[in-house]
Amino acid sequence: MTDEGSRYFALSLDSLRAIARWAAECADRVLGIYESQSVSDPRPRAAIEGIREFADGGGRTARLRTLALAAHAAARDAADPAAAAAARAAGAAAASAYTHPLADVHQTKHIVGAAAYAALALELRHPDDPGIAEVEIRWAIDHAPAEARAVLLEMPARPRGKSRLDTLLYLVDAGIRDPSGADAV
């Protein structure tokens, strides 16, 4: 069910591929956090590899959904919160291929989720470095493709929210929408 007033907009496969490539880069930056805790679990890496295949021209198949769900299952299995956030970054990256062309705030998580979870993973891994999440968000904003901005501008902006993850999602969203704006990191 969509919110009253939600509308559909044009979203090309090429735009999804550009967003997917960037999401994979964001998730890959923290994959080592997960793999250092769960050496023998390939699920988050497989999710990143799968979305890279899509970004390079592969199909948007049910396999990507399976890889995304498996990475999220790996996050639930992780004992370490930083490792769990890193696995969620991989799952969010794989799910980016399924961004719907619907002007709905919930769809924005498909775009900014990998970057926000990557920032959260670093923050949880390095609690003595209070600015590490913002540095990672700045990296994500600086490397976001133009397609991410174009798609986000079709959707409602994310609210700041109450949780730390909500705040990180908001910061990535706001920063991509207006990299030079006051809300940008």
Can you give the residue ranges of every domain in the chain?
A: 13-177
Residues 6+ apart with CB under 8 A from 27: 44, 47, 48, 86, 89, 90, 92, 93, 114, 117, 118
Instruction: Tell me what pLDDT residue 181 has.
Output: 65
Q: What is the pTM of this model?
A: 0.94
Q: Is 7 helix (H, G, I), strand (E, B) or coil?
A: coil
What average pLDDT does range 70-79 have in this prediction? Answer: 97
Instruction: Tell me what pLDDT residue 183 has.
Output: 53
| Res 2 pLDDT > 90 | no
Query: 């991509």: which residue's tokens?
Result: 176
| Res 35 pLDDT > 60 | yes
Instruction: Tell me what pLDDT residue 39 has.
Output: 85
Instruction: Tell me what pLDDT residue 51 has.
Output: 98
The CB-side HSE value for 24 (13 A sphere, CA atoms) comes to: 22
Q: Could you give the percent of the chain with pLDDT greater than 90?
A: 92
Predicted confidence band at 185 (pLDDT cuts at 50, 70, 90)?
low
Instruction: Tell me what pLDDT residue 98 has.
Output: 94
